[in-house]
Structure 1
Amino acid sequence: MRDPYKILGVKRDAGQDEIKAAWRNMAKAVHPDHNQGDPTASARFAEIGRAYETLKDPKKRVLFDNAARMAEAKANEGTIMQQRQAAREAAVRAKAAQANAERVMEELARAAAQKAAADVAMQQKTGTAEPPEEMIERIFGTQARAAAGGGRAQGFTAGAAKRPEAEPATSDKQPDAGKAEAEQQAAEDAAAQASAVMQPLSLLTSLVRRFTGSGAAAPEKAPDQFVTKTVTVDEVIKGSWVSIDLGEGRDIGFALAAGTTEGHQVRLKGQGHKLAGMQRGDAVVSIHIATDERFTINGFDLHTALPVTIENAVLGTEARFEGPNGPITVTIPAWSGSDKTIRLQGQGLANAEGGRGDLVVELRIMLWEKPDDKVTDLMRIMKNGLFL
């Protein structure tokens, strides 16, 4: 059954008078006698009646509200887990970019020192002196100063590059959703810094190679091009062939290999930027997996919710549902609650080591779409302790 509040167009805190008035107005509008040319009028009228039957009875309304809150809590839990996973992955990428930045800056410093030492020695021989500022400009040139200046303008200082962690919360009792939001924001900031710093650092690397004389046998390599590709869960499961627009009319395709998950990077050799006098750089594609109604992703594991009626949860049954690779039948043990999970090994995403993650089936107890008087009486007897 759909949400009765949405069917009647009322808020969740609506009173009985408001619910009754909404039902009457809608029932009159969609009554089959007034809509004889509409084949869906009878179904709509019946749906409005079921919604009113649910909301006018306080007990049925409480049952529905509790089930809705459980579903919303589970959805929020999945969102928080995805945000935390994305935050961890972004922090790892930021840390790698920071290490690369430090390495390049060390190379640049060594190259500058060697060049400066050679120039000073030459000046001592010739008896000339050059101001340090002019020497630095002559050694690095305007291109290096522009790249370094661009980095400084965007806040790439030693302190800023080392902040992939979220800022401490002002309260120890901050909700999980707030913490996840803070972690996600901090990770996005760190990832943005890492992505933006790669272009000027690529230019600095080329300059270091030029000063040290390395790479003389072949043209220097242009900076890498960083792009993001959004794919579906089905494409990842099947290892599909996907394509991405790299600009300049270039549409490059590649296969989603084993080990692909959220934040995974694919390096396409020689498919990046093209600059005059330099080898074409690489294209680095970051994979983003779109939200799926059936599955949520945790590492290489897939999570899915399986609705179960009350009688099947109590007595146990076999349930069949659509898995990532086709229909799957699982055995639900007797007395299985909504906290019960069934783990199917090897039914998740493929990893780079040749194995696969698991499919985690989370049970959700659901009420019947149409109220049942016998079940209602049984629950009332159990509640009041009138056992026969």
Structure 2
Amino acid sequence: MRDPYDILGVARTADQPEIKRAFRRLAKKLHPDANKGDPTAQDRFAELNSAHEILSDPEKRGQFDRGEIDAEGKPKGFEGFPGGGQGFERGFRRGGFGRGPGGETIFESFSYGPEGARRSGHGPHDAGGFDDVISDILGGLGGGARGRRGRAGGAGGEVPRGGDVEIKVPVSLENVIEGGPVKVHLPNGRAVEVKIPAKVAEGHRMRLKGQGEPSPFGGAPGDAYVVIAYAPHRHFRVEGADLRTDVPLPLALAVTGGKVRVPTLSGEVELSVPAWTNSGRTFRLRGRGLPKAQDAMGDLFATMRIMLPEERDPELEALMTRRQDGTI
């Protein structure tokens, strides 16, 4: 048997969702009901399912990657099972080879007849796995398969819908406060504008119905959930619902005191600093931060950073020199 990764067409670094998508895509294409004129369809589908059984099980996948089992899921050196007939059989080990700790059968057989895919002899941990996937696949194969199964992967004969997706959208801190339109890129490649309300906190979710992943079986598409994320800001550092910023403090004001202008998300405000304010002193501006629960707002913490004049000041230099020499 070929390498399971080659059969599914995925890289060895593929994660479980990628493996699942590859299997569903190929299973719909290779299922015997969709290839009734191809005598090799059953064997190809059996090979596909065997590859999926190994790669979808983290324990088996690890054993295969380490060379402990072969591409059929058998321990290296194992000769296989005798017999033949229609369909295919695969044995695998879960807590013992052949039977589980309670003596239950843990071999699986799959065959294809007038009633479609049938499974027998599965172990106690297999519920909801292969059967659910096959149900989804048969639901997308048209009237014949659907008529035999009766349902197409859900109660009431509903065709499985596409998957939901989350789309994180970076939003400027100003837009978080004011609200307004943001551009969202959807899985189908389209770009739409979504209006966010004013004063939304990071993690706020908005549902776009029917804008998620398409259904591989012809059902309704899933939904897209736009999740608000704070974009980096050149002035502010985010700490929960609070903001921090550094404010240049002229040396003269640090000595004599006075008013400095502090940036906020809604414009600059004046802050009075007392005389002899050291660099690093922090002032709290209540309610000037980011949205919190129950319509409350975080705070803005402004830290003073003493700045020398941009141009050299001879008088200041002379004053500092006399003070250093002790002459004043």
| Correspondent of 1:332 among 269, 273, 278 | 273
Unaligned runs of 5+ in 2: 1-103, 105-118, 136-149
Q: How does 1:118-267 map to 2 (within 5 A)?
A: 130-132=120-122, 136=126, 140-141=130-131, 143=133, 215-216=155-156, 220-248=160-188, 250-257=190-197, 260-262=200-202, 264-267=204-207
Aligned 8 A contact 1:305 1:361 in 2: yes
Shift of 1:283: 1.1
SS in structure 2 opposite 1:382? helix
Unaligned runs of 5+ in 1: 1-115, 117-128, 146-209
Q: With a CA cutoff of 8 Å and minimum separation of 6, indicate the structure with the bigger relative contact order.
A: 1
Write the distance in 2 (CA, Å) between the matches of 1:138 and 1:351: 41
* 1:223 partner amino acid: G
Cα root mean square deviation, aligned = 3.8
Q: How does 1:20-39 map to 2 (within 5 A)?
A: none
Aligned 8 A contact 2:187 2:213 in 1: no
Distance 1:142 1:336, change over 3 A: same
Aligned 8 A contact 1:259 1:352 in 2: no
Write the distance in 2 (CA, Å) between the matches of 1:382 and 1:216: 90
Shift of 1:263: 5.0
Shift of 1:250: 3.4
Shift of 1:298: 1.6
Aligned 8 A contact 1:261 1:299 in 2: no
Aligned 8 A contact 1:258 1:354 in 2: no
What CA deviation, in whole Å up to 9, does each residue of 1:186-231 have, x standing for no partner? xxxxxxxxxxxxxxxxxxxxxxxx99x9753865443112323222
| Correspondent of 2:295 among 327, 336, 354 | 354
SS in structure 2 opposite 1:380? helix
Per the alignment, residue 111 of structure 1 pairs with none
After TM superposition, the score normalised by the length of structure 2 is: 0.50
Write the distance in 2 (CA, Å) between the matches of 1:225 and 1:289: 19
Write the distance in 2 (CA, Å) between the matches of 1:386 and 1:253: 68
Instruction: Quote the sequence identity (%).
Output: 32
Name the structure where strand makes up a greater proportion of residues.
2
Write the distance in 1 (CA, Å) between the matches of 2:252 and 2:220: 68
Write the distance in 2 (CA, Å) between the matches of 1:139 and 1:226: 25
Distance 1:309 1:267, change over 3 A: same
Write the distance in 1 (CA, Å) between the matches of 2:169 and 2:131: 36
Residue 343 (structure 1) aligned with residue 288 (structure 2)? no
Distance 1:369 1:219, change over 3 A: same
Distance 1:368 1:130, change over 3 A: closer
Distance 1:139 1:237, change over 3 A: closer
* 1:238 partner amino acid: E
SS in structure 2 opposite 1:360? strand
Distance 1:137 1:310, change over 3 A: closer
* Bigger CA radius of gyration: 2
After TM superposition, the score normalised by the length of structure 1 is: 0.43
Write the distance in 1 (CA, Å) between the matches of 2:208 and 2:184: 11
Q: How does 1:46-65 map to 2 (within 5 A)?
A: none
Aligned 8 A contact 1:302 1:357 in 2: yes
| Correspondent of 1:292 among 224, 229, 233 | 233
SS in structure 1 opposite 2:268? strand
* 1:316 partner amino acid: G
Write the distance in 2 (CA, Å) between the matches of 1:279 and 1:286: 22
SS in structure 1 opposite 2:188? coil
* 1:143 partner amino acid: V
Per the alignment, residue 247 of structure 2 pairs with 306
- Choose 268-277 or 216-225, whichever is displaced more: 216-225
Per the alignment, residue 378 of structure 1 pairs with 319
Distance 1:265 1:374, change over 3 A: same
**Matched residues, number:** 197
Write the distance in 2 (CA, Å) between the matches of 1:256 and 1:297: 20
Aligned 8 A contact 2:178 2:199 in 1: no
What CA deviation, in whole Å up to 9, does each residue of 1:235-268 have, x standing for no partner? 2221122121214353333333456445554443
* 2:211 partner amino acid: Q
Distance 1:321 1:140, change over 3 A: same
Write the distance in 2 (CA, Å) between the matches of 1:260 and 1:306: 26
Distance 1:239 1:136, change over 3 A: same
What CA deviation, in whole Å up to 9, does each residue of 1:83-112 have, x standing for no partner? xxxxxxxxxxxxxxxxxxxxxxxxxxxxxx
